[in-house]
Amino acid sequence: MRILLVEDEPDAAHLLAKGLREQAFAVDVAAEGEEAIYLASINNYDLMILDVMLPLKGGFEVCRELRAAGASIPVLMLTARDDVRDRIAGLDSGADDYLVKPFDFHELLARLRALLRRSQSLQPETIEAGDLKINTRSHAVERGGQMIALTAKEYALLEYLARRAGQVVSRSEIAEHVWDENFDPFSNLIEVYIQRLRRKVDEGRDPKLIRTLRGEGYLLTASNDHPSV
Ligand code: CA
């Protein structure tokens, strides 16, 4: 899941981005409204966290412009005060939800999950593929009843593949949704992480869930209809 965080206060942005990355989100940060609109136009984000109080172009205006341009990205707005007029203005501008600063980080996570569930047509909390089970709330992963310990990035990659189980996922889609703008498209990082996941998820187990389709991408499936490479 890749998030665009729009926040002009560097300390707040840094802390929030760090917390979200630890929760396996890929995070890009924009410090002002125009940059946010630009980044949203060139990247495929799963969600936007948008501060209302921004220099030059404020959060309400950013949201209105995005919606006017037809962007359906879920937007969680951060308002500075618990003022009913702010909340109404936020929702009227096209935000999907709002949170009043200062907020509890766990409440922010819960709201992100709720928004992501909604945008992914009510995805279940547990994703299953064969004997692999992923709890998207706790990030607990188990296969055949055995817990598998994953790093945040390994988890993010596995969850992304599992959400699209049975479909081929291209390298560029993985780069877009699991990594952030610092990803170097010429690096072999995706291959490295796929290898790590194979070791943890597939080694010594059958069937192999993570398949490579040369020239096309990767596929997570428990069925034998797809040739494994
Ligand atoms: Ca601000």
- The CATH number of the domain holding residue 140 is 1.10.10.10
pLDDT for 12-69, tens place per residue? Answer: 999 999 999 999 899 999 999 999 999 999 888 999 999 999 998 999 999 999 999 9
DSSP string covering 137-192: TT--EEETTEEE---HHHHHHHHHHHHTTTSEE-HHHHHHHHS-TT--TTS-HHHH
Structural domain of residue 24, as residue ranges? 2-119
CA of 216 from ligand 1 middle (Å) equals 42
Gap from CA of 133 to ligand 1 centroid (Å): 39
User: Looking at the structure, do residues 170 and 190 belong to the same domain, yes or no?
Assistant: yes
Do 98 and 58 lie in one domain? The reply is yes
As for how many domains the chain has, the answer is 2
Expressed in angstroms and rounded, the spacing between residue 60 Cα and the centre of ligand 1 is 12
Model-level pTM? Answer: 0.76
Same domain, 12 and 113: yes
Residues 94, 188, single domain; the answer is: no
Task: Tell me if 225 is assigned to some domain.
Answer: no
Q: 51: CA distance to ligand 1 center in Å?
A: 6
- Residues 109-140: tens digit of each pLDDT: 999 999 988 876 556 678 999 999 999 888 99
| Residue labelled with tokens 């799963």 | 46
Whether residue 37 lies inside any domain: the answer is: yes
Q: Based on the domain organization, do 15 and 96 belong to the same domain?
A: yes
